Amino acid sequence: LTFISTTPNIPTMSFVKEASKFVRRKAHTNSQRKLQVQIGVAGSAAPRLGALPKGQAKKNSAKTVLDVDSKHFQPLGTWTSDQLNQSRAENPFAMGWGPSQSRHAVPNMTHGEGVYLFDDKGNRYLDWTSQAVCSNLGHDLPESIIEAATYQMRLLPYVYGDIGQPEVNTRMNQLMNEILPGDLRAAVYPCSGSEANEVGITMARRYTGKQKIISWYRSYHGGTSNSSAATGEHRRWMNGDSTPGFVKAFNPFPLFFKPGGNDA
């Protein structure tokens, strides 16, 4: 990244180089802080904070013939259990917000029926969470829903909401306005629970003019910046405590209140 000055007699400067010099000066002069910032230059042996372990990087470019496994061209449902397990062992990926090593032990799910999930060994699992409340209609959808989704995918898979609205969005919005209580009408249609909470926090702060958000310690609200900061349980460890404006409160203790009734 290079900035070029339009003022006469001022030379061109490299932003990256000047920023590196500034960081080194700050680290050298601030004697009260014992953090040493070491900036490694490509080709040198200087260590870097948070450097990733060394590995063989892929040298893919426009002229490179990519080495793609031919099994990718097989239809879905044709990979064997051994092929699936081998792929997970050789190609790391994140497992939600927990330790990713658990991917080696999770079952290969094949299909679902109602509230049950089935793996490639024939085991049946009762889905207590409805897949994080994303499969409330069960795991074998009615044909009407499958046909509606197929119709929309064939007609128009996606349109950016700021430039146009398909029929299904307009009809869904009207239905929500008819169902919502009171004078609730306007709605935002995000893509995930984290995004929904981000929008809720943003709207609350803009409406009230206040910044502080109070949430329970025993809670989970998502993995993005504000939603993870509102999260109170262990999954906030990645970045939840670095976002300002969030306060945690202890959950109500069930021994001191009744679950229902006039005197609850």
CA-nearest of 215, 196, 202, 216 to 134 is: 196
Return the pLDDT at 33. Answer: 44
**Residue 153 exposure: Cα atoms within 13 Å on the Cβ side:** 6
- What is the pLDDT, as a whole number, of residue 147? 96
d(CA 255, CA 153): 52
What's the CA gap between 60 and 91, in Å, rounded?
Answer: 17
Are residues 144 and 151 in contact, defined by beta-carbon separation less than 8 angstroms? Answer: no
- What are the average pLDDT values for consecutive 10-residue runs of the chain, which has 264 residues? 39 44 48 39 45 59 80 92 91 74 85 94 93 86 93 93 90 92 85 91 95 92 89 75 88 71 62
Q: What is the pTM of this model?
A: 0.63
**In the prediction, which pLDDT does 15 show?**
41
